[in-house]
Structure 1
Amino acid sequence: MAENVLSVEIFGLSRLNFQTLLVLCIAFLLSFLVFKRPRNLPPYPEGWWPVFGHLLALGRAPHLKFTEWRRQYGDVFTVRFGLNDVVVLNGYTVVKDALVSRSEMFASRPPIYVFDFITAFGKGVATAKWGHGFRQKKKFSTSVLKTLGMTVGKNSVEDKIQEEAMCMCEKIAEYRGKPFDVEEVVRTTVANVICSMIFGNRFDYGDERFRELSEAMVGTLVSITSAQLISIFPFLRFFPYVNKPYNDTIAHNEKILKFIREEITRHRRDFDRENPRDFLDFCLIEVDRHDKVDNLTEENVMYFAQELLFGGIDTTTNTLRWGLLYMILNPDVQKKVQSELDAVVGETLPTLSHRAQLPYTEATVMEVQRLRAVIPLGLPHATTQQVKVAGFDIPAGTQVLMNLHSLHVDPVYWPDPDRFDPGRFIDADGRVSSKMDSFMPFSGGRRVCPGEQLGKMELFLLFSSLLQNFTFKLPEGAPPLSTEGILAITLMPHAFKLCAIPR
């Protein structure tokens, strides 16, 4: 009996001690994980929480928060995403050093679960880890795109862009100056350029198959942003409600992959190995021959095409939408662009050969890219070895974010940076400055956007065609336009309607 009482007392005391010990152990473990960091890592900003890190402090526009923190903590600091350290680089000096001067040291990709899952963990190019396989795939895909016209000069895709520009203007003219949302028209136009290169065919405006593809792409971009918590804590994908953005991302992305699989099947059925027509043809030939890329498969090809669709449609579409928004907000700039186009181009089609004679038009496009870079943080990088930045030590494999937005609003390079002023890109001789520091809308180095040349051609030709044919105004009684934007991988304007008045 006494033995039993003693046991109960001991167990009662032991239970209390065990619970206390468990809580203390968990607290210690969390503290260890939170505070565990390599020596001489860049400083943490204030505002982190246990487990969540800085996630709650970033809000919906992390590039703006990073730029704000730069003023307090300097060009290099560390944020905590869950239990992982992420180094953020700000300002032209350190970003250029990382992206260009020491590009290979920052050329890999970090593990980001949801993003990795929808790209089959690096089966394409954009999310592939640094190494021989990545270099082979990037060299091959870039070479094919150049063969298909992603270059200025002979055999350029310029004629195709001009053709789509004409179709776009004809479609817009059908609205006869009445209010409408230009996004669908612009998105279809841009998509037809890249889809012609990838699949060898274009879509009519209102095409149901393309509408489904477009909705799936936008849905993927929006839902993957909402699913960032699962990228940081992958086990949450098993929890109902919390995993909805993740499930939505997978469902939207599967529609895109289904579309591409169907195109690959169609190409397999009727392509001529001696006369490749488009990107898929070139890739399928390489799948059979393995001349340039080791072990290339049709699955790789599918993810190549997926990345080209995302990279080649959404970025250019939203840059053009921002461009039209700023033309409405700055009618004096719009009028000046139109006067230049009238004097140089007249009623003929704008061409790339006109670009040198249209410095203000080109500068206006660049000012849109500066003020509203559509991928303000670029894609995440990872270090390939331990590296020192601004006196701090960054271990190998660390995720690094390049805050490109901070370059584009730095008052040291851009006086009154929030003001829309294309003149800042014009030199004393009246030409577009050949070299602009602190301006990297396509990122740079080993991971520079592979479609940079195509993007520049499209933006110039499509923007010129729009301003040549129409004057853009806000509908009477419409609410004021917002320039804040919505960050969903790309920074897109809030939906807005405009009036395109034929000139």
Structure 2
Amino acid sequence: MAGAVQWIAESVQEILQISGLTVQTFLVLCSTFFLACVVFNRSRNLPPYPAGRVPVLGHLLALGRAPQLKLTAWRRQYGDVFTVRMGMKDVVVLNDYTAVKDALVDRSELFASRSPFYYLFDAIFGFGKDIFSASWGPEFRQRKKFATTVLKNLGMRVGRGSIEDNIREEANCLRNRIAENNGQPFDVAHDVAVAVANIICSMTFGKRYDYEDETFRELTKAIATISIELGAGHITAVFPLLRFVPVVNRPIIKALEASSKVKNVMREEISRHRENPRDFLDFCLLELEQQEKVAGLTEENVMYMAQDLFLGGTDTTANTLTWSLLYMTLNPDVQNKVHEELDAVVGKSLPTLSHRSQLPYVNACLMA
């Protein structure tokens, strides 16, 4: 091995002497060649690139401040399918129903996997160790089928034995919590988040949190931080190496710290779930021992799968409900009509799914 290294060093030195290059110049040329290969490398069989692509940045400058308008203009010029260079990544853009159906329906298995495009996304969701970010294949299908079956067994269905009773109970707790403010203005966002999370927690962990629980307050803050950073369109999505650059990587570090808090809660819950299967974690741990339905299932997989339920359902649903409350506040006439219909059909009790067909105006508002 040492002889081979010495031979290579002597050969490089000889080449430099013959060409008259210095070591510094040689290194610059090698670096330039390497960067040129990376920047100008284009995958084969891709649809055409629109004009305006530049080295390193790709089409980022050409897209401007209104990328949706630029993409529409490019569609008229280049057709329904074309390629946009986003920094160091190629992105194929599909513009019409036929193209989307052809890719996502007719050839669904070829396009079913999520691209490993965004470091922060992959890091938070375990680089495919969960369900949400896993690549399409037998492992993904087994985990998804197993999780769906467990959730149905735990009440995620319509009809007898559903989780509707838990939802109505938590809605009543939220109503009482709001009533405690005696009509005075307050920020309802945290209470709504707790109510939503408690439904998920009741299925995942077999427990609920108190509205004043400090640990849960920190947990909801961590979830909100993760959601914000994932949706912020960070520059590392198109230039992954920038995650190592100080200051630039601050949002990455912030989101990963928040993700670590969520994972710690998951691990703590897993450690105390070793008895009768009563919730999602219990069923997962039982499968972990038996290895009957999900091949190669590990405790790390269980942790990430539980995190999927928690992250995927808490902040999204809570934000939807909070926006609904805001719109009701801004439109008191609509609020009054909803209130009147609920009073007429439901009365003083809480609504159930069986009331849906009798509440056309409420349903219209929910669908708006």
TM-score by structure 2 length? Answer: 0.83
Report if aligned partners of 2:131, 2:143 keep a CA contact under 8 Å in 1: yes
Corresponding residue for residue 167 of structure 1: 173
Whose helix fraction is larger, Structure 1's or Structure 2's? 2
Distance 1:365 1:26, change over 3 A: same
* 1:305 corresponding residue in structure 2: 306
Contact kept in structure 2, 1:78 and 1:88, CA below 8 Å: yes
Unmatched tracts of structure 1, length 5 or more: 1-9, 368-503
For residues 364 and 227 of structure 1, do their structure 2 counterparts lie closer, same or farther at Cα, with a shift above 3 Å needed? Answer: closer
Aligned partner of residue 273 in structure 2, secondary structure: helix
The partner residue of 1:222 within 208, 228, 233 is: 228
Superposed counterparts of 1:46-445, under 5 Å: 48-55=53-60, 65-66=67-68, 69-70=71-72, 73=75, 76-90=81-95, 94-111=99-116, 112-226=118-232, 228-268=234-274, 271-272=275-276, 276-367=277-368
Q: Distance in 2 between matches of 1:232 and 1:86?
A: 11
Distance 2:330 2:67 in 1: 25
Correspondence for 2:5: none
Q: Which amino acid aligns with 1:69?
A: L
Task: Please list the CA deviations of residues 227-266 of structure 1 after superposition, one character each: whole Å capped at 9, or x if unmatched.
Answer: 7333433322222112212211221111111111111111
Any idea what SS the aligned residue of 1:153 has?
coil
Secondary structure in structure 1 of the residue aligned to 2:152 = helix
Q: Which has the higher strand share?
A: 1
Change beyond 3 A, Cα 1:297–1:26: closer
Contact 1:70 1:76 in 2 (8 A): no
Does residue 32 of the first structure (1) align with residue 33 of the second (2)?
no
- Report the secondary structure of 2:242's partner residue: helix
SS in 2 for 1:319: helix
Gap change, CA 1:72 and 1:347, over 3 Å in 2:
farther
How far apart, CA to CA, are the structure 2 residues paired with 1:223 and 1:349?
36
Give the match for residue 458 of structure 1: none
Write the deviation string for residues 437-490 of structure 1: whole angstroms up to 9, x where unpaired.
Answer: xxxxxxxxxxxxxxxxxxxxxxxxxxxxxxxxxxxxxxxxxxxxxxxxxxxxxx
Letter of the 1:317 partner, please give it.
A
- Answer with 1 or 2: which has the greater Rg: 2
The amino acid that maps onto 2:40 is: F
C-alpha distance in 2, partners of 1:97/1:57? Answer: 28
Quote the sequence identity (%): 54
Supply the AA of the counterpart residue of 2:354.
S
Residue identity opposite 2:108 in structure 1: S
- Amino acid of the structure 2 residue aligned with 1:360: Y
Report if the CA contact (8 A) 2:46-2:83 is conserved.
no
How far residue 319 of structure 1 moved from its aligned partner, in angstroms, is 1.1
The 1:266–1:38 alpha-carbon spacing in structure 2 relative to 1, beyond 3 Å, is same
Residue aligning to 1:500: none
For residues 240 and 40 of structure 1, what CA distance do their matches in structure 2 show? 35
CA distance 1:293–1:19, change in 2 (3 Å): closer
CA distance in 1, matches of 2:27, 2:312: 53
Given the superposition, is the C-alpha separation of residues 86 and 346 from structure 1 closer, same or farther in structure 2, using an over 3 Å criterion? same
Q: Deviations over 1:155-200 (max 9, x none)?
A: 1100000001111111111222222222101100000000100000
Q: What's the offset of the Cα at 1:88?
A: 3.2
Amino acid across the alignment from 1:115: F
Decide whether the 8 Å contact of 1:192 with 1:202 is kept in 2: yes
